[in-house]
Amino acid sequence: MRPILMKGHERPLTFLKYNRDGDLLFSCAKDHTPTVWFADNGERLGTYRGHNGAVWTCDVSRDSMRLITGSADQTVKLWNVQKGTQLYTFNFGSPARSVEFAIGDKLAVITTDPFMELTSAIHVKRIARDSTEQTEESVLVIKGPQGRINRAVWGPLNRTIISAGEDAVIRIWDSETGKLLKESDKESGHKKTITSLTKAADGSHFLSGSLDKSAKLWDTRTLTLIKTYSTERPVNAVAMSPLLDHVVLGGGQDASAVTTTDHRAGKFEAKFYDKILQEEIGGVKGHFGPINALAFNPDGK
C-alpha cells in the first residue's frame, strides 16, 4: 500500500485524531493551525484559524460537529467542524496540553501545564449543547501531581479520569469528587516521563508510552500492569489496532540530537508489536524525524 503524504503544516506535528466514522482526520501542529483532511485520499478540507501558539491536542465530538483544541497560547477553543468558526474560548493561566470529550460530549477534561507560579492541573468543563450558553467555569479542578501532566483521558462511563505525565506515575481520579483512587506501582510502572496514553476501543485497558523506551498495557479498572513492550528508543506516541492484536509505537531521539547522525541511527520507524506476545512484528519507515503522533482509523484498516 502506498502511503498518502499530507503536506500542509509548516512546523512539527503534535497530535492526530480521527473522527468516529473514520472519514476525517484532524491534525495539530506547532504552527498554530489545526487542520482537517479527508482520511481516504489525504485532501486538505480546511483549517481552524485563531490560536496564537503551538496546538498540542484536539478531540472531535461523536457527531463530528464540534472540535476542541488545546494550545500553548493558554486557551482551549471549541470550533464548528464544518464552518471552521470558533464557538467558544476557555482561557487558562497556562498552556493547555491535553483535551478529551467525555462519552456523550457533555463534559471535557483539559490539562494545563505548570507555568510561572501555577502547578499542573486537570480541569473538567461542562460543554453546552448551544454554544451561546457556554460558560467558563470548571465543574472540577484537580491539582497535585508534580511536573507536567501530558495526558488525561476519561475512564469507563465517565466515572474516572486517568492522568499521566512527567512524574512517570499513572493516576486514576474520581471524576465527581476529584479524589485520587489509584496510582501505578513504582516498581512495575514507568521510570521516566509518560508521553502518551491511548485507550482500547472498549475502554477495558489502555496503553502508555514513555521516554524510558517502553510502552505498557494496563487494566483500566484495577490499574494492573498487563504487558510491557520494550524498544530501543524513547516512545513519543502509542496506538492500538481496534481490529487486530497490534500495538504501534512511534518515537525516536529528539531532533536536536539527530542532526549529526544518519537518519537510520535516529530510529524513526513506527514499530508494530504483537499485543499478547509482546514481540516486535514489523515496522514502517519513511519519517526523517521523531514520530510525535499516531492514530488508527476506527475501522482498524
Using 50 as the pLDDT threshold, list the residues of the chain that sit under it: none
Q: Are 288 and 18 in contact (CB under 8 A)?
A: no
pLDDT the model gives residue 2:
79
| CA nearest to 54, candidates 70, 77, 78, 38 | 70
Exposed / middle / buried, residue 202 (Cβ in 10 Å: 0-12, 13-18, 19+): exposed
**pLDDT digits 0-9 by tens, 200-245:** 999 999 999 999 999 999 999 999 999 999 998 999 999 999 999 9
pLDDT the model gives residue 1:
64
Helix (H, G, I), strand (E, B) or coil at 255: helix
Exposed / middle / buried, residue 230 (Cβ in 10 Å: 0-12, 13-18, 19+): middle
Q: What domains are defined for the chain?
A: 13-183 (2.130.10.10)
pLDDT the model gives residue 40:
92
Which residues are CB-contacts of 238 (< 8 A; sequence separation ≥ 6)? 196, 197, 198, 207, 208, 209, 215, 247, 248, 249, 250, 294
pLDDT the model gives residue 252:
79
pLDDT the model gives residue 148:
94
pLDDT the model gives residue 117:
86
Give the C-alpha separation, 69 to 98, whole Å: 8
